[in-house]
């Protein structure tokens, strides 16, 4: 048995003061840091958009963050400009022990399609390499924390389940955007329904 901790998008733009701030987002770094030494390997994902990414409302005249459009056949929520490659907002938060990362997988690099999951783009067309990497290393259990619970963490968890990993959500190591009230709780329900195990960090031995 080999297990990995996957830290999803713990980046400045998703923390208070950032472009797409999540309340208490920084708490996820504290939890992730405390968990790292209990794992065989620690992997991170990083939202890493080109400046012209079409998930940005600013790319679409008269559209605003929160609007939903059709983007190349997929429903796309429009977001504020965030996690632009090379920007401060795209950096991992300073508190995060990035020296413990064995490998970082970037996502959202194609301007024409978004990528919430750390494994695949939203159309499930291209893989980031994370799934193959974990299989190659013999990982069978993944513990997932980070940002945001109701967006990228949720889709990363659902893909991990589909790929056959025993998948744990570290609930106290995530926070939700809550575009709509209750999104975070609904995300947890959906993950649970689809087979994810919900734990708190103090239960991870
Ligand atoms: C995310 C919205 C847009 C996330 C990324 O990491 O949860 N959310 N891009
Ligand atoms: Zn993004």
Q: pLDDT tens digits for 140-185?
A: 999 999 999 999 999 999 999 999 999 999 999 999 999 999 999 9
Give, using CA atoms, the residue closest to atom 3 of ligand 1: 79
Average pLDDT rounded to a whole number, residues 69-81: 98
| Ligand showing the shortest atom-to-Cα distance for residue 48 | 2
pLDDT number for residue 15: 98
* Rounded (10°) angle between helices 183-193 and 154-162: 10
The structural domains of the chain, ordered by start, are 2-203 (3.40.50.850)
Q: Atom 8 in ligand 1: which residue has the minimum CA distance?
A: 151
- DSSP-derived secondary structure for the chain: --EEEEEE--BGGGSTTSTT--TTTTHHHHHHHHHHTTSSEEEEEEE-B-TT-TTBGGGSTT--TT-EEEETTEEEE-B-S--BTTSGGGSBPTTS-GGG-SEEEEE--STTS---SSSB-TTS-SB-SHHHHHHHTT--EEEEEEE-IIIIIHHHHHHHHHTT-EEEEEEEEEE---SSTTHHHHHHHHHHHTTPEEE-GGG--
Q: What is the pLDDT of residue 63?
A: 98
What is the pLDDT at residue 172?
A: 98
Nearest-atom number in ligand 1 for the CA of 49 is 9
Q: In what order do the strands lie in the sheet with 103-107?
A: 103-107, 41-47, 3-8, 141-147, 166-175, 197-199
Residue 107 designated active-site? yes
Which of 15, 114, 152, 154 is catalytic? The answer is 152
Indicate the pLDDT class of residue 127, thresholds 50, 70 and 90: very high
**Is 126 annotated as catalytic?**
no
Distance 152 CA to ligand 1 centre (A): 5
The ligand whose atoms approach the alpha carbon of 54 most closely is 2
This prediction has a pTM of: 0.98
pLDDT exceeds 90 at position 108: yes
Q: Which two tokens stand for residue 179?
A: 């575009």
Q: How confident is the model at residue 99 (pLDDT cuts 50, 70, 90)?
A: very high
The rounded Å distance from CA 128 to ligand 2 centre is 15
> What is the average pLDDT across 98-122?
98
Q: What is the mean pLDDT of the chain?
A: 98
Percent of the chain's residues with pLDDT above 90? 100
pLDDT band (50, 70, 90) for residue 11: very high
Residue 99: active-site member: no
Nearest atom, ligand 1, residue 79 CA: 3
pLDDT value of residue 197 = 98
pLDDT at 1 over 90: no
From the list 42, 33, 11, 4, the residue with the least C-alpha distance to 172 is: 33
């Amino acid at each position: 048995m080999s297990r990995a901790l996957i830290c999803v998008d713990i980046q400045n733009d998703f923390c208070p003061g950032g472009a797409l701030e999540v309340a208490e987002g920084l708490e996820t770094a504290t939890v992730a840091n405390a968990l790292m030494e209990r794992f065989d390997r620690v992997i991170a994902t990083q939202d890493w958009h080109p400046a012209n990414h079409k998930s940005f409302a600013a790319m679409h005249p008269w559209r605003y963050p929160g609007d939903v459009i059709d983007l190349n056949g997929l429903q796309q929520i429009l977001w504020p400009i965030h996690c632009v490659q090379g920007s401060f907002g795209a950096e991992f938060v300073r508190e995060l022990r990035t020296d413990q990362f064995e490998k970082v997988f970037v996502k959202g690099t194609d301007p024409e399609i978004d990528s919430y999951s750390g494994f695949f783009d939203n159309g499930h067309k291209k893989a980031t390499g994370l799934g193959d990497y974990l299989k190659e290393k013999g990982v069978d259990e993944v513990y997932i924390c980070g940002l945001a619970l109701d967006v990228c963490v949720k889709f990363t968890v659902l893909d991990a389940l589909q790929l056959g990993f025993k998948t744990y959500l570290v609930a106290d190591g995530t926070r939700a955007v809550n575009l709509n009230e209750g999104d975070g709780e609904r995300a947890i329900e959906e993950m649970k329904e689809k087979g994810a195990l919900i734990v708190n960090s103090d239960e991870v031995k």
